[in-house]
């Protein structure tokens, strides 16, 4: 009888344990659109281990597993709930069955319920909007790469709007980073130099916007790093060099779990830094066609309008007239030079004053450019400024287009007597006088110094002083040379002087930003100065200029470990400040002086 009672008590206890420990599966939405992200949750009202998620092959997994834990006390009794969640999106239409998950609790295997999620084309039905109050934002959670190959989960691309273009035609270049990890930040970005192109960067915000993009059925988080408009300056095959970037990402750690929570979620996460490099891009640039090229073509490529006008058409002699030419359009407008205009011979002309209003937006480089010509008629009469033609090449139509202006007629009346006399002495009139005959000379009205006829330079005191001056100059040179040799005997002092001078020269631009309290540009110039100095001093190519290379080379040059650590720390601080200047504190004057001392110290220690 006692044995039967014990067995019954044991069975009842097991039943209570099984009922008490419950693993519940749920979804934030049960009807979703294909590609729409939603949350799958698995909640356990106790602690456990060896969690096994159901197969999620029908979904793109954006992040997970993500941990949340809640505890509560009711009448002195503690209850605990642990939730494991995934951010997923359906790959295709249909009803998808999500099988049970399992976890081990007190040695027993506990399974969750299974349920069905329906994936439809386009937006999910409005009737499903109230199914759940969980609104999820997946972008900030760690993602779940489907392969261990780094190149499949993190890479950068240089994307161009066209691979064939005319010389001077606008080309859009976009640099993007693609990741299936959670992107934490960047340590270093090296954009290409765009050799052979004139480049115009598009202004962007400091915060990189992350979007989702699907490539060959695989979903990536994509951040646009930079957008630039290029205009080729020569024909042929031009290469856009690779972009290098160091990305800091959050990924799952392979180390053993430290506690029961990490064991429940299959391990912890850690930040890792990877250096990735884009592929070079070759663009084939064709020269502008010679057929039907206008004589007055000045290199404008794009789409333009053209307007010319004069300030007045009736003036007096020696009064000024302004001829204004305005170009409006889209293309390489910034590279267009002032137009050549044939003014009447009696007009005194001046170089054009240029005014620009050019912007770079998502649609390209566009705006206006105004040339203001100042001319002064010197004589009365009726004059004509011939028709002005502005020619440009339209790459869309693949032809030259010429825009004409009207002719301008200017009536010049006789000026007053003072102005008329002044016109005699203008440069054009002087040239005319010189052509008439070499015997005509202008009368000098200034004071003239006369000297006796018998006085000559030969034999004068100034003549003899000139004879002996080379001897004294030689003595002075010998004295200065000996003084220089004496000063250079102290090698330490010489190195100190040169190092300080070199540091000041390299940091001159940083000093300007220091005075204007431009913190972001100040750190950028400090970074460039340090990298430029180290590269030149150690003869390291820019492509090989990494912190590890710098440290190894300085050790070979017998630079102390403390100095090397100070240099690497300064470079790290500058790199961090370039992307988060508001997060960096410290006196800029102190940072500037410490950088000068650091370069000086390296000069002293290097051998």
Task: For residue 252, give the CATH number of its domain.
Answer: 2.60.40
pLDDT of residue 428: 41
Element (DSSP H or E) covering residue 575 = helix 561-579
- Residues forming a β-bridge with 399: 394
Same domain for 378 and 331, yes or no, is yes
Q: Please tell me whether residues 338 and 408 are part of one structural domain.
A: yes
Residue 478 lies in a domain: no
Q: pLDDT tens-digit profile of 53-72?
A: 888 888 888 777 776 666 55
Task: Indicate the pTM of the whole model.
Answer: 0.47
| pLDDT surpassing 90 at residue 18 | no
Q: DSSP string of 221-280?
A: EEEEEEEEEEEESS-EEEEEPPPEEEEEEEEE--SPPSSHHHHHTTS-EEEEEEEEEPPP
Whether 263 and 309 share a structural domain: no
Confidence tier at 436 by pLDDT (50, 70, 90):
very low
Same domain, 13 and 129: yes
- In this prediction, residues 437-464 reach a mean pLDDT of 68
Do 266 and 169 share a structural domain?
yes
Measured CA distances, 147 to 109, 150, 212 (Å): 29, 8, 19
Averaged pLDDT for residues 571-587: 69
Last residue of one domain, picked from the residues 139, 172, 202? 139
Instruction: Find out whether 119 and 90 touch, Cβ atoms under 8 Å.
Output: yes
The pLDDT of residue 123 is 42
106/109 Cα distance (integer angstroms): 8
The verdict on residue 448 lying in a domain is: no
Q: Residues near 326 by Cβ (< 8 Å), separated by ≥ 6?
A: 306, 307, 308, 368, 369, 370, 371
User: What's the domain range around 516?
Assistant: 491-605
Shared domain for 325 and 383, answered yes or no, is yes
Burial 193-209 (b: 16+ CB within 10 A, else e): ebebbeebebeeeeebe
Q: Are 238 and 359 in the same domain?
A: no
Alpha helices (runs of H) in 304-450, residue ranges in sequence order: 417-423, 427-436
Residue 442 lies in a domain: no
The residue out of 111, 139, 167 marking a domain boundary is 139
Which of the residue ranges 208-212, 392-396, 557-561 has the most confident prediction, judged by mean pLDDT? Answer: 392-396
Least confident of 264-268, 333-337, 406-410, 493-497: 264-268
What is the count of structural domains for the chain? 4
Kind and range of the H or E run holding 502: helix 491-506
133 shares a domain with 159: no
Interval 91-114 mean pLDDT: 85
* Confidence band for 431, pLDDT divided at 50, 70 and 90: very low
Does residue 462 lie in a domain region? Answer: no
Q: What are residue 286's DSSP bridge partners?
A: 166
Within a domain: 524: yes
Q: Would you place residue 132 in the very low, low, confident or very high pLDDT band (cuts 50, 70, 90)?
A: very low
Categorize the per-residue pLDDT at 421 as very low, low, confident or very high, splitting at 50, 70 and 90. Answer: very low
Residue 366 lies in a domain: yes
pLDDT digits (tens, 9 = 90+) for 590-605: 888 888 888 888 878 8
Same domain? 156 vs 281: yes
Average pLDDT over residues 128-143: 38
pLDDT the model gives residue 503: 63
Distance, in Å, from the CA atom of 229 to the CA atom of 331, rounded to the nearest integer, reads 10
The confidence score (pLDDT) of residue 177 equals 92
Residues 175 and 95 in one domain: no
465 lies in a domain? no
C-alpha to C-alpha distance for 350 and 345, rounded to whole angstroms: 13
According to the model, what pLDDT value does residue 583 have?
56
Residue 216 and residue 322 in one domain: no
Same domain, 92 and 185: no
Q: Taking Cα atoms as reference points, which of 220, 474, 148, 200 lies closest to residue 360?
A: 200
Q: Are 278 and 242 in contact (CB under 8 A)?
A: yes
Residue 91 has pLDDT above 60, yes or no: yes
Listed residue (10, 37, 234) closest to 136, CA to CA: 37
User: What SS3 state is found at 454?
Assistant: coil
Task: Specify the CATH number for the domain of residue 385.
Answer: 2.60.40.740
């Amino acid at each position: 009888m006692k044995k039967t009672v014990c067995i019954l008590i044991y069975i009842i206890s097991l039943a209570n344990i099984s009922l008490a420990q419950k693993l519940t599966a749920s979804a934030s939405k049960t009807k979703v659109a294909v590609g729409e992200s939603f949350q799958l949750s698995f909640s356990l009202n106790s602690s456990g281990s060896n969690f096994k998620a159901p197969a999620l092959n029908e979904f793109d997994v954006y992040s997970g597993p993500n941990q949340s834990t809640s505890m509560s006390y009711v009448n002195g009794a503690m209850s605990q709930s642990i939730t494991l969640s995934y951010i997923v999106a359906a790959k295709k239409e249909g009803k998808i069955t999500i099988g049970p998950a399992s976890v081990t609790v007190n040695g027993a295997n506990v399974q969750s319920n299974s349920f069905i999620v329906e994936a439809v084309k386009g937006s999910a039905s409005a009737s499903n909007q109230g199914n759940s109050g969980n609104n999820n934002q997946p972008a900030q959670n760690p993602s779940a790469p489907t392969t261990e190959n780094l190149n499949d989960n993190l890479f950068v691309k240089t994307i161009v709007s066209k691979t064939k273009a005319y010389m001077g035609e606008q080309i859009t270049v976009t640099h993007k980073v693609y990741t299936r990890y959670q992107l934490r930040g960047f340590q270093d970005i090296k954009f290409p130099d765009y050799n052979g192109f004139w480049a115009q960067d598009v202004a962007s915000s400091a915060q990189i916007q992350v979007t989702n993009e699907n490539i060959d059925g695989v979903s990536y988080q994509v951040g646009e790093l930079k957008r630039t408009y290029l205009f080729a300056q020569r024909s042929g095959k031009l290469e856009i060099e690779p972009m290098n970037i160091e990305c800091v990402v959050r990924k799952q750690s392979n180390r053993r779990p430290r506690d029961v929570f990490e064991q429940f979620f299959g391990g912890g996460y850690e930040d890792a830094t990877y250096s990735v490099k884009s592929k070079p891009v070759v663009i084939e640039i064709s020269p502008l066609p010679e057929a039907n090229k206008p004589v007055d073509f000045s290199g404008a490529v794009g789409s333009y309008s053209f307007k010319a006008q004069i300030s007045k058409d009736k003036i007096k002699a020696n009064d000024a007239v302004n001829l204004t030419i305005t170009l409006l359009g889209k293309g390489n407008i910034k590279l267009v030079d002032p137009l050549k205009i044939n003014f009447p011979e009696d007009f005194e002309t001046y170089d054009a004053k240029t005014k620009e209003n050019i912007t770079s937006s998502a649609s390209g480089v566009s705006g206006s450019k105004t040339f203001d010509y100042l001319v002064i008629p010197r004589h009365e009469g009726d004059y004509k400024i011939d028709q002005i033609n502005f020619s440009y090449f339209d790459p869309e139509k693949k032809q030259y287009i010429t825009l004409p202006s009207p002719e301008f007629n200017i009536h010049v009346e006789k000026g007053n007597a003072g102005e008329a006399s002044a016109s005699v002495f203008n440069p054009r009139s002087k040239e005319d006088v010189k052509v008439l005959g070499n015997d005509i000379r202008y009368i000098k009205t200034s004071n003239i110094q006369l000297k006796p006829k018998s006085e000559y330079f030969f034999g004068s005191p100034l003549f003899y002083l000139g004879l002996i001056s080379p001897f004294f100059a030689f003595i002075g040179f010998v004295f200065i040379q000996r003084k220089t040799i004496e000063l250079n005997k102290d090698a330490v002092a010489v190195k100190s002087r040169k190092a300080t001078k070199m540091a000041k020269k390299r940091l001159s631009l940083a000093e300007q930003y220091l005075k204007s309290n431009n913190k972001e540009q100040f750190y950028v110039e400090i970074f460039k100065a340090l990298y430029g100095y180290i590269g030149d001093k150690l003869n390291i190519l820019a492509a090989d200029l990494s912190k590890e290379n710098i440290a190894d080379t300085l050790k070979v040059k017998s630079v102390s470990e403390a100095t090397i650590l100070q240099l690497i720390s300064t470079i790290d601080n500058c790199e961090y400040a370039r992307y988060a200047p508001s997060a960096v504190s410290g006196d800029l004057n102190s940072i500037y002086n410490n950088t000068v001392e650091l370069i000086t110290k390296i000069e002293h220690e290097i051998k």
